[in-house]
Amino acid sequence: MFDRLYLPVLALAALAAIGLAMVWPQGLGDRSPAPFGHPPVQRSPEMQAAMRRETEAAQRHIDQTREAVRNIKNQAIAPHQ
């Protein structure tokens, strides 16, 4: 008897959750339709600048690492003469 009540309520809850998920959560992507959501965080000028700085710092780190490996290889091939 309990299943006759529980399973339809569970199905309605699942459908409601799916319907809400279609309009409510937006994560960091595009803005959800009105009246839900807020402007995406990653589109703010401050976040764009922070992401650009992070990318440039990572690129500098990669370049420094490659240069260090290159120097180590050169030392192994042609030690001080």
CA separation for the pair 27, 37 (Å, rounded): 9
Q: What is the pLDDT of residue 36?
A: 66
Nearest partner of 39 among 50, 48, 27, 51, judged by Cα? 27
Q: What is the pLDDT of residue 1?
A: 60
Segments in the chain below pLDDT 50: none
Secondary structure (H, E, C), 13-35:
HHHHHHHHHHHCCCCCCCCCCCC
Dihedrals φ, ψ of 48, to 5°?
-60, -45
CA separation for the pair 81, 76 (Å, rounded): 12
Q: What is the pLDDT of residue 72?
A: 93
Q: What is the pLDDT of residue 31?
A: 66
